[in-house]
Amino acid sequence: MYKTSEQHEVFRRKIREFAESEVKPIAFMLDKESKFPKEAIEKLGEMGVLGTPYPKKYGGIGLDVLSYAIAVEELSRVDGGTGVILSAHVSLGTYPIAAYGTEEQKQKYMIPMAKGEKLGAFGLTEQNAGSDAGGTETTAVLDGDYYILNGAKIFITNADEADVYVVFAVTTPDIGVRGISAFIIEKGWEGFTFGEHYEKLGIRSSATAELIFNDVKVPKENLLGKEGQGFKIAMATLDGGRIGIASQALGIAQGAYESALEYSKERIQFGQPICQQQSISFKLADMATKLAAARLLIYSAAELKENHEPYAKEAAMAKMYASDICLEVVNDALQIFGGSGYLKGMDVERAYRDAKICTIYEGTNEIQRVVIASHIIGRMPKSNIPVAKKKGAETGVRKKMILKEGTAEERVTKLVEALKADNYDFTVGIDINTPISKAERVVSVGKGIGAQENMELAKALAIQAGAALGSSRPVAETLRYLPLNRYVGMSGQKFNGNLYIACGISGAGQHLKGIKDATTIVAINTNANAAIFKNADYGIVGDILEIMPLLTAALDNGEPKTEAPPMKKMKKSPPPKVVPTWKRYVCNGCGYEYDPAIGDEDSEVLPETLFEAIPEEWICPDCGEEKDKFIEA
C-alpha cells in the first residue's frame, strides 16, 4: 500500500492553503471570463512550486515527482485550469530541457523556468498530427547558424502566456519519426506569432492557442538533444506529463466529491440528509473508492519516475484511469447536487466541464490503451503506407498556383484569366446574403480586413464576383462585422459550392475544415507562408486592401450581374502525382528497388529508413548483391 510521507502532507497543506485562499475565490470569475490567473501563477513561482521536482542547482526546490503530483492535484481541486498551467509548465515545458538540455540550455532556460520567472509550454500537436504525433509537418531547415522554422502547432496549453516553448519539427523529411527534432523557441522571436485563444468547454482559466511559425530563425544551439531525437524526447516527456494530467483529473474529481459529500449532509429530503439514503451513500462510497484507486496509481507512477525506474506504462494507466473515473465522479457529484449543481457558479458545474479534457489531451485515453497494450503485448505491426501518401493539405489536393511576382495588377489579371479558364462566369451572380451552405460562390474575409469600414471593399468584391459574403470566425464572433451565421468553418457554416475567395484569412484548421469541399479556393494574404496558400488552388500574395479593389474592377463587366442559374457543382482538378522526395536506389544486379517506406524486415531495416542510413553490410534481399552495387535511379 502506498503511504505519503509527513513531508508530502506538509507540502500538500501548503498548496491547499494557497489554492483555497488565492485561487478558489476567483475560480468562477476566471472561468466566466476565460482569464489566465497571472498573479496566482506568479505567486506559485515565488513559492518555488513551478520548480517543485527540479534540483536547487537548477532553480528548483528539490522535491520529488510525487510532491509535484500533489501540487497539481491540490490546485485542480479548486480549479482544473490552474492545475494544467502548472502541469504543462513543469512536465512539458521544463522537463525536456532538464532531461535533454545542454548545460548552457539549462543555465539559460531551465533555471528561470524552475524559479518561476519564465513560463514554459510544449508544441507537438498539429492539424494533421494529433494522436499520430509522428505525422508532424512543421519544418526546420538548417541554414548556416540557424534553423528556419515554418508551420503551426494547435491546441497549445499556456500559449501565449508562456515565454519558452519546446517545439517539434521535421529536420529530415520523408523518413518518419526519426526525422523529427526538438527545439527551444522564445516568445518574441520574429515570425513567431499566436492564433486567437480557443473558446473552450472547460479549463477556461488556462490559455490555449495556436503557435504560428513563419520563417522563424532558431539559433543552432537551440536544438534540444540531437537531430532526429525529437520524437523520442516528445514521447518521454509525455510519459511524465501524463502523471501531471492524471493528478489534474484526480484533483478535479476530489474537489467535486468533497462538495457533493458536504452538500449531501446538508440537503434534507424525505426527512433526512440525502447522504443517509442508500442511493446517495452508495454513490459516495463508489466515488471515494475510485478516487483512492486513482491516487494509488498516480503516486506509485510518480515514485517509479522519481526512482528512475520504467514508468511509461504506469503513467499511462494512471492518466487513463484517473481521467476515466474523473468523468464518473463529477457526473455523480452533479447528480447529488440535483438542479442546484446545474447552475453557473457552482463548483460542480465547472468541474463537470473541466473534467472532460483529461480524457483527451496529453494522449487520448485510446492512445493510453495503445501505450499500455504495447507494454503488455509489444508494439503493433505498422501498415506499409508510404509516408508521402499520408501527407496532404487540410482541403485535399489543390493546384497551389500562388502569384507572388509582378505588379498587383498583373497578379490580379493572371488570377482572373485562370478562373475564367476554369469556366467561372462573372456575368452572373447570387445575392450576397445567400446562406453560405447554399451559395455557389463566397467571398470571405478574415482578420486581415482591419477596420470595419473595409468591409465595404469585401462587399463590392462579393457583388462583382457574383458571390455571397462570409467571414472567418473571429470576424463574426470577436469583431462582429457579420452575423454569426455567416462565418465559415468547422463550428460555423460549411461551404459546399464552387468558388471560395478567402481574403486576409490565415487558414486556421477549423476554417479549412469548413471549406474543404469547395471546388476552387482562392487566397489573398500578405503572408506568403500563411496556411491558406497550402490549401488554395490560386493565391495572390499581397495586401487585401490593395488587391480587393483591383480584383473587383477586373471582375466588373460593366453591367449588373444577371441571376445565376441553379448551382451545378464543378469537379476539382485531378490530383498531381505524389513524387517521393527521397533518392531512389535500384540493385544493379536484379533491378530490385529499395523502398524507404517499407524498409527490409528480413534484414531488420525498419520502415522509414533511408537507403543512405542502411548498414553497409546490408545486401539486396532479392539477389544478394552488395549495398555499394546499388545505383541511384
| Tally of residues, the chain | 633
Question: Would you state the cell numbers that stand for residue 621, as one nine-digit string?
Answer: 534481399
Q: Considering only residues 208 through 237, tell me which ones interact with ligand CAA, judged by CB under 6 A.
A: 231-232, 235-236
Q: Is 370 in the site for ligand CAA (CB under 6 A)?
A: yes
Q: In sequence order, what are the residues at sequence separation of 6 or more whose Cβ sits closer than 8 angstroms to the Cβ of residue 347?
A: 27, 255, 256, 259
Residue from the set 19, 312, 402, 482 that interacts with ligand CAA by CB under 6 A: 312
Q: Indicate the residue among 84 and 243 with the shorter CB distance to ligand CAA.
A: 84
**Residues 248/330, Cβ–Cβ less than 8 Å:** no
Residue from the set 239, 349, 354, 394 that interacts with ligand CAA by CB under 6 A: 239
Q: Indicate the residue among 129 and 540 with the shorter CB distance to ligand CAA.
A: 129
Distance CA 597, CA 176 (A): 9
Q: Considering only residues 144 through 173, tell me which ones interact with ligand CAA, judged by CB under 6 A.
A: 157
The DSSP output letter for 607 is T
- In 66-194, at which residue ranges do the beta strands (DSSP E only) sit? 120-123, 139-143, 146-157, 164-170, 180-186, 192-194
Which CA distances in Å does 29 have to 80, 159, 197, 347, 398?
A: 14, 20, 17, 12, 45
Catalytic annotation, pick one of 73, 126, 314, 362: 362
Q: Are strands 208-219 and 401-403 parallel, antiparallel or unpaired?
A: unpaired
Q: Which stretch binds ligand CAA (CB under 6 A): 285-293, 364-372, 385-393, 582-590?
A: 364-372
* Smallest separation (angstroms) from ligand CAA to the CB of 124: 5
Residue from the set 3, 308, 344, 379 that interacts with ligand CAA by CB under 6 A: 379
Q: Is 3 in the site for ligand CAA (CB under 6 A)?
A: no
Q: Considering only residues 489 through 548, tell me which ones interact with ligand CAA, judged by CB under 6 A.
A: none
First-residue to last-residue Cα distance in the chain: 63
Q: Indicate the residue among 367 and 499 with the shorter CB distance to ligand CAA.
A: 367
**Residues 491/510, Cβ–Cβ less than 8 Å:** yes
Number of neighbouring beta carbons within 10 Å of residue 615: 10
Q: Indicate the residue among 476 and 614 with the shorter CB distance to ligand CAA.
A: 614
What is the contact mask toward ligand CAA in residues 342 to 361, using x (rule: CB under 6 A)? -------------------x
Residue from the set 134, 255, 341, 504 that interacts with ligand CAA by CB under 6 A: 134
Which CA distances in Å does 47 have to 38, 67, 114, 125, 267?
A: 14, 14, 11, 31, 39
- 275 dihedral zone (left: phi>0; alpha: psi -120 to 50; beta): alpha
Of the candidates 89, 82, 85, 68, the one whose C-alpha atom is nearest the C-alpha of residue 24 is 82
* Smallest separation (angstroms) from ligand CAA to the CB of 24: 22
**Residues 488/444, Cβ–Cβ less than 8 Å:** yes
Of the candidates 417, 258, 246, the one whose C-alpha atom is nearest the C-alpha of residue 337 is 258
Q: Indicate the residue among 88 and 551 with the shorter CB distance to ligand CAA.
A: 88
Residue from the set 161, 354, 362, 537 that interacts with ligand CAA by CB under 6 A: 362
Distance CA 257, CA 327 (A): 11
Q: Which residues of 221-241 are buried (b: 16+ CB within 10 A; e: fewer)?
A: ebbbbebbbbbbbbbbbbbbb
- Closest residue by beta carbon to ligand CAA: 363
* Smallest separation (angstroms) from ligand CAA to the CB of 531: 20
Q: Considering only residues 174 through 213, tell me which ones interact with ligand CAA, judged by CB under 6 A.
A: 177
Q: Is 80 in the site for ligand CAA (CB under 6 A)?
A: no
Q: Indicate the residue among 369 and 399 with the shorter CB distance to ligand CAA.
A: 369
* Smallest separation (angstroms) from ligand CAA to the CB of 85: 9
Which CA distances in Å does 633 have to 589, 591, 593, 598, 617?
A: 13, 10, 9, 18, 21
Amino acid code (one letter) for 89: H
Q: Which stretch binds ligand CAA (CB under 6 A): 130-138, 165-173, 463-471, 564-572?
A: 130-138
Q: Which stretch binds ligand CAA (CB under 6 A): 99-107, 128-136, 399-407, 420-428?
A: 128-136
Q: Indicate the residue among 327 and 357 with the shorter CB distance to ligand CAA.
A: 357
Q: Is 88 in the site for ligand CAA (CB under 6 A)?
A: yes
Q: Indicate the residue among 210 and 362 with the shorter CB distance to ligand CAA.
A: 362
Q: Is 419 in the site for ligand CAA (CB under 6 A)?
A: no
Please confirm, yes or no, whether 617 is among the known catalytic residues: no
Question: Would you state the cell numbers that stand for residue 90, as one nine-digit string?
Answer: 513543469
* Smallest separation (angstroms) from ligand CAA to the CB of 91: 8
Which CA distances in Å does 452 have to 440, 448, 475?
A: 25, 11, 10
Q: Which helix (H) or strand (E) holds 444?
A: strand 441-445
* Smallest separation (angstroms) from ligand CAA to the CB of 363: 3
Q: Indicate the residue among 379 and 577 with the shorter CB distance to ligand CAA.
A: 379
Residue from the set 7, 21, 107, 131 that interacts with ligand CAA by CB under 6 A: 131
Q: Considering only residues 464 through 493, tell me which ones interact with ligand CAA, judged by CB under 6 A.
A: none
Give the HSE-up count for residue 320: Cα atoms under 13 Å, Cβ half-sphere. 18
Q: Is 587 in the site for ligand CAA (CB under 6 A)?
A: no
Q: Which residues are catalytic?
A: 362
Interface residues toward ligand CAA, by CB under 6 A = 84, 88, 92, 122, 124-125, 131-134, 157, 177, 231-232, 235-236, 238-239, 312, 361-363, 367, 370-371, 379, 606
